[in-house]
Amino acid sequence: MADVFEELSGLDRLIHEPARLSIMTALNAVASADFLFLQRLTGLTAGNLSSHLTKLEEAGLLEVEKRFVDKRPKTTAAINKEGRDVIESYWEGMERLREQAQDWEPE
């Protein structure tokens, strides 16, 4: 049963980091989201959100599109299949670990 603690300490830090977990969870629920929506939803600064989106994009978990609409920059992000698989696996693993932790008793 001590394995639950080893698994918790070995969580994927790319996804487990709170800001990136918020971004991935939000994007998993929608087809795509624009930058301002994600910023309002997560409460992150523009620079911080941009940095996290870049890390997730570089990891191959989402696609970021930057374009201009009426001469204004518009950034949208969408989770891809690999990203969906990763976030679904993360939440399934967290649920399993929560159940194991509830059953844990010190020796």
Number of structural domains (the chain) is: 1
What predicted TM-score, i.e. pTM, was given to this entire model?
Answer: 0.89
Domain of 80 in residue numbering reads as 3-103
Nearest partner of 46 among 62, 35, 32, 34, judged by Cα: 35
Q: pLDDT digit string (tens) for 23-76?
A: 999 999 999 999 999 999 999 999 999 999 999 999 999 999 999 999 999 999
Residue 9 near residue 52 (C-beta atoms within 8 A): no
Question: What is the pLDDT at residue 30?
Answer: 96
Residues 14, 82: Cα–Cα separation, whole Å? 14
Q: Do 62 and 83 touch, CB atoms closer than 8 A? A: yes
- The CATH number linked to 44 is 1.10.10.10
CA gap 28, 32 in Å, rounded? 9
Three-class SS string for 48-75? Answer: HHHHHHHHHHHCCCEEEEEEEECCEEEE
Mean pLDDT throughout 1-19?
84
